[in-house]
Chain A
């Protein structure tokens, strides 16, 4: 069972981080913290209300590079699917 099926998307228009196209901006809504992997993603900064920007895909389509909390990180799609986000319009909301 893939993480996509494992966790239920919360209410509101949340989508999986893995489904966003490069260039997209979003705000993280939730990360499944019941697994060790989910908690590690939280410690990496994937936390509710954190703005995130999809930078680019690797030439072969996976992994994908993201920018959040002032740094850049890449995740494979299978792990990004554990993060639920609400897409925002091009300009990310001011966060401080």
Chain B
């Protein structure tokens, strides 16, 4: 013990444990809301640290990613190993192992590996209440002697045992250490685990009868599938329907604030910037909060209760076909409402490879921001004829667009799994934890953490990009000739802005898709968010607020070169298909950057989706022209 010399400085404690061990609950209980979230370099693994003060001594608790083994089989798993070895920043001074008291027979296999690292270590047993409820009896003093390290029992969500634990954590230099280290080979570790348990676990816990009874229904071939469908429908409703009023409310407040600024401040550049760039930019960040909060409340609730693992179990076969796993389903479904929460939901996918593939295909699911674009184009150009009874052509086209997106997502996922992400395939294993009551506090802490992470890490990017886009659409400022209406002046300013000029400049590039410069400007502005193209087109066509005004303007528009309509059936189809594929959404890009720790994958996603969009639009344009004849 003489080799440990812990200074009076910051004490670094590494929290090690398997998934479902209650490690996160303990971390939150110890550090409260003060967790700092960052990245480990080069991998898609979140780094969570939190400070706490015990007896005047400052300690940094490092929440290591949950793992079942210290023998890594992927670069992401290697993080735990490398942190313990001090390869990613200073090595921890001591390790705090966390294990579910009911699964010690398995957890001891990991505990043995951790003990072999030779750092001062202690063991925190969670779910001790559940152990007792299931009839298990563990003699903690004997357990300490058998392991050779301090052991404390806690009930993390109720805060029981935390005071004693804090006291222990303050003095790792006084922790006892095992006289002999456990053996290394797995089989011998199992023997060691059996002998440790034989001396301390006086009575084994029985099976969790409540969980068994619930599983008989939840995993029943018929009832379980039905329940799965119901949960998913509710999930979908939650973000698609329930979040909308809140988002509309935020939009209304932002719009009111912008108008208020215009009305009260003298007209000029500063006022325009404040109202149209800054306030609108902040609005485009916070508008995501309702669905993020709603989605994560339900997500964490289902996760903490234990249903998420069951849902993944039920749907895994389907997702396995395309090389993904059950947990990807929830994320892709959420992406139907919006890819931003959908991509954030991939955090529940344990396999980094599957998580990345899910993130990369999530933007292909038809999100609600595409609806205004589809509605405009379909409303203007697809006849409202009846195809078969109540089935109308407009509805069928919309359905087709949804299906095209979903099919493309599945196809791309399968393709990525066989190409870019090849050879990183890991075995699929997933624990089915006992059902537990969630606690409001834990769910609230997790939801708050997600919302805060979004605001700080993605929000800043979204705000910056929306300000840059505003500048592109507003500069250089060209005053309109005398006597023009406000709508025409606005159109004039846009046409002479950088974005307007860019639209003209890259017209030759998009001409093969059937797009003119006006659509080009619309596409550029839709980078802010897909539906922005509707407002931009309205500005370009100097359309009024009257409903139908923009639709008529689009229908009437003729090309100055050919004198024929701009929006031919081929162009409309091509533009719709472009919106199915293209990643026209800076918020998605920002959230991808935040979730994958860098620009590499967002850049990849943007590029492949742009290539796909261009190719598909080009093919659609040609095909429709061939079918209906060139104008």
Do A50 and B190 touch across chains, with their CB atoms under 8 A apart? Answer: yes
B314 CB-CB contact with A under 8 Å: yes
Q: Is B205 positioned at the interface, with any CB of A under 8 Å from its CB?
A: yes
Q: Once the chains are docked, how many angstroms separate the CA of A56 from the CA of B151?
A: 35
In angstroms, Cα B110 to Cα A45, docked, is 10
- Residue contact B314 to A96, C-beta cutoff 8 Å: no
Q: Which of B8-16, B68-76, B260-268, B622-630 lies at the binding interface? A: B68-76
Residues of B close to A79: CB separation below 8 A: 427-429
Do A96 and B190 have beta carbons less than 8 Å apart? no
Asked if B421 is an interface residue, CB under 8 A from chain A, the answer is no
Smallest CB–CB gap between A56 and chain B, Å?
Answer: 6
Complex: A33 Cα to B11 Cα, angstroms: 38
Question: In the bound complex, do residue B432 and residue A43 qualify as a contact, i.e. CB atoms below 8 Å apart?
Answer: no
Query: Judging by beta carbons under 8 Å apart, are A76 and B316 in contact?
Result: yes
Beta-carbon contact of A65 and B313 below 8 Å: yes
Alpha-carbon distance A42/B427, docked complex (angstroms):
12
Measured in the bound complex, the distance between the Cα atoms of B108 and A50 in whole Å is 14
> Quick one: CB contact mask for B20-34 with A, threshold 8 Å, 1 for yes?
000000000000000
B103 at interface by CB-CB < 8 Å: yes
Shortest Cβ distance from A53 into chain B, in angstroms? 9
Given A45-B106, A62-B320; A96-B429 close (CB under 8 Å): no
Interface: B317 (CB within 8 A): yes
CB distance from A69 to the nearest CB of B (A): 4
B482 within 8 A of A: no
Does A74 belong to the interface (CB within 8 Å)?
yes
A1 adjacent to chain B (CB < 8 Å): no
Which stretch, B218-226, B272-280, B339-347, touches the partner chain A? B218-226
Q: Cβ of A71 and Cβ of B316 under 8 Å apart?
A: no
In the bound assembly, the distance between CA atoms of A74 and B109 in angstroms comes to: 19
Which of chain B's residues has its CB closest to A53's CB? B207
Given A43-B68, A43-B71, A58-B219, do A70 and B427 touch, yes or no (CB 8 Å)? no
Whether B429 pairs with A70 at a CB distance below 8 angstroms is no
The complex places the Cα of A67 from the Cα of B109 at a distance, in Å, of 17
Within residues 37 to 93 of chain A, which ones have a CB less than 8 A from any CB in chain B?
37, 39-45, 47-48, 50, 55-56, 58-63, 65, 67-76, 79
Please tell me if the beta carbons of A70 and B104 are within 8 angstroms of each other in the complex: yes
Residues of B with C-beta under 8 A to A33? 186
Interface: B55 (CB within 8 A): no
CB of B186 within 8 A of CB of A39, answer: yes
**Min CB gap A75→B, angstroms:** 5
Q: Is the CB of B432 within 8 A of A75?
A: no
Closest to A30 in B: B187
Inter-chain contact A43/B109, CB cutoff 8 Å: yes
Residues on A with C-beta less than 8 A from B105 are 45, 69-71
**Which positions 60-110 of chain B face chain A at CB distance < 8 Å?**
68-69, 71, 73, 102-106, 109-110
Contact indicator B186/A43 (Cβ below 8 Å): yes
A36 interface residue (CB < 8 Å to B): yes
B221 touches A59 (CB 8 A): yes
CA distance A73 to B430 in the complex (A): 5
* Listed A/B pairs (26) with beta-carbon separation below 8 Å: A36-B73, A37-B73, A39-B71, A43-B68, A43-B71, A44-B68, A44-B106, A47-B186, A48-B187, A56-B215, A58-B219, A58-B316, A59-B220, A63-B316, A68-B106, A69-B106, A70-B103, A71-B103, A71-B106, A72-B432, A72-B433, A75-B427, A76-B316, A76-B320, A79-B427, A79-B428
Q: Which residues of A contact B (CB under 8 A)?
A: 33, 36-37, 39-45, 47-48, 50, 55-56, 58-63, 65, 67-76, 79, 96
* Given A39-B186, A47-B187, A56-B215, 13 other A-B residues pairs in contact with their CB atoms under 8 A: A39-B71, A41-B429, A58-B219, A58-B316, A63-B313, A63-B317, A68-B106, A69-B103, A70-B204, A71-B106, A74-B432, A75-B429, A96-B194
